[in-house]
Amino acid sequence: MLKTLEERGADLSEILQEMAVKLALEDNRFQGENGIYSEGNRIVGDGTVFTAASSQTTNEFVNQATGEIRKRRMDLVAQQYTEGGGTCVYGIKYAAIWSTGANRHDTIALGASYVSSSSPQAEARMAIELVHQAQAHLKRADASVSLVTYDRAAGRKEQESLNEDGMVLATRAYMDHAPDDKSHYRKPKPIGHTQATCGHHHYFVAIQKRLHLVVTDVSGGVSHVALQHQQRPKRRGNRIFHYSEHPYTCWCSPETDQILRISWNGRKAALSSSKNGIVLAGDKGYENMMRYLQPHAPDSDEFKVLNGKRQTAESMHSIMDQMLPFKRLQRWSLESKDSWVFGYLTGHNLVYQQLRRQEVLNQLAG
């Protein structure tokens, strides 16, 4: 049935997303009255691999005794993928995004997309594209996503694209735990400088995802002081602006804290013009900021809470076990695979819709 819908010009992905956004808005998700970091304003994304319809990787079989060559059916779109635990699976990968809720069946599937490459970055890119599509739908309804949680497959480019659309990536942190200081992440990465109210210039670097102040003593020795990391998001209408503030001390007035503010929305030109902003060390400083810093410090309580929410969402709202409860896609063409996946996701959302309506009726009756 879904395949014939596509033949008539229907877009299964668009149908699912429009339906999901409508359900989310009915449940007051992604609304201005919600906290910026609340569960109702957050999208979770991940990828999953389904075993191929056939495990055969070639379409020919040679009988060693007779030399006869026989044709056999194979899954033309399947390939070898490596899952998070390191397990290799021959099959088909889909990236999906969803909105979580307090209960297991409160999950709303917001979109899914076939991933044609075995690269984790390709999976993250497809998922973030789905997030941007959902954000566009929500903005037309005067709502917006503020937070996206994904695993480390999402990197600098994904973070940058989300920042430009009013969102931040919560779980991108990676810290190298090498036993010595030769780790790449422990080498200082220049970010930029700022001028304190007293006129002195202060230089900042990134070390293991944390912002550090460069301190030079009287003998010329250089040390790096880790700075506190405080999130200060603001909402203006349906637009959300994310900032991180970093208190530091100038040597001429040790009793007074200076503030360095980094804006995580927009391009590098806007960073130096904002109040208490930073002058980046050129294009390289901007790249270092996107790659080696992040809106949430990896060892902060705030990051631990957000990362914990992601783990809870993954265990409670498993894509494989809840929204797509099958391990193998017994379909041969990509069109039939899409129909199967989108059919299940649409059905999942319909179950949520019926449960939600019944809950509302019970509340009215009570």
Rounded Cα–Cα distance for residues 183 and 121 (Å): 23
User: Is the model more confident about 291 or about 83?
Assistant: 291
Query: For the segment 111-144, what is each residue's pLDDT rounded down to a tens digit?
Result: 999 998 888 889 999 999 999 999 999 999 989 9
Length of the chain: 366
Average pLDDT over residues 280-308: 84
Structure tokens at 242: 């994310």
Per-position b or e across 168-188, b if 16+ CB within 10 A of its CB: bbbbbbeeeeeeeeeeeeeeb
What is the pLDDT at residue 212?
A: 94
Pairing of strands 234-236, 239-241: antiparallel
**CA–CA distance, 22 with 110 (Å, rounded to integer):** 10
- pLDDT beyond 70 at 185: yes
Tokens 């949430």 sit on residue: 296
pTM: 0.84
Name the residue ranges covered by the structural domains of the chain: 2-173+301-365, 184-292
- Residue-wise pLDDT tens digits, 81-102: 887 667 888 889 999 999 988 7
Q: Which two tokens stand for residue 108?
A: 């709303």
Report CA torsion sign: 11, 16, 17, 19. Answer: positive
CA-to-CA separations, 317 to 103, 314, 355, in angstroms, rounded: 9, 5, 16
Average pLDDT over residues 19-35: 89
Given this model, what pLDDT does residue 234 score? 84
Give the phi and the psi of residue 83 in degrees, each rounded to 5.
Answer: -80, 175
The residue among 45, 12, 51, 85 whose CA lies nearest residue 323 is: 45
Tokens of 179: 């036993």
For 298-350, write each residue's pLDDT tens digit: 777 777 888 787 777 777 666 667 778 778 887 788 888 888 888 889 988 99
Q: Which residues of 113-147 are buried (b: 16+ CB within 10 A; e: fewer)?
A: bebeeeebebbbbbbbbbbebbbebbbeeebbbbb
CA 291/CA 1 separation, integer angstroms:
45
Neighbours of 319 (CB within 10 A): 23
| pLDDT value of position 174 | 67
User: Can you give the pLDDT at residue 19?
Assistant: 92
How high is the pLDDT of residue 366?
63
Q: In Å, what is the CA distance from 26 to each residue of 29, 104, 353?
A: 8, 18, 10
Measured between alpha carbons, how far is 338 from 113 in angstroms, rounded to an integer?
8
Q: Which residues are CB-contacts of 23 (< 8 A; sequence separation ≥ 6)?
A: 108, 349, 352, 353, 356
> What pLDDT does 5 receive?
62
pLDDT reported for residue 62: 67
Question: Distance between CA 323 and CA 344 in Å, rounded?
Answer: 7
pLDDT confidence bin for 59, thresholds 50/70/90: low
Which residue, chain included where needed, has tokens 């009756």?
A: 365
Both tokens of 120, joined, read 């984790």
> In the predicted model, what is the mean pLDDT of residues 173-196?
80
Phi, psi (degrees; rounded to nearest 5) at 42: -120, 145
Give the separation between CA 200 and CA 250, rounded to whole angstroms: 8
How many Cβ atoms sit within 10 Å of the Cβ of residue 282?
Answer: 12
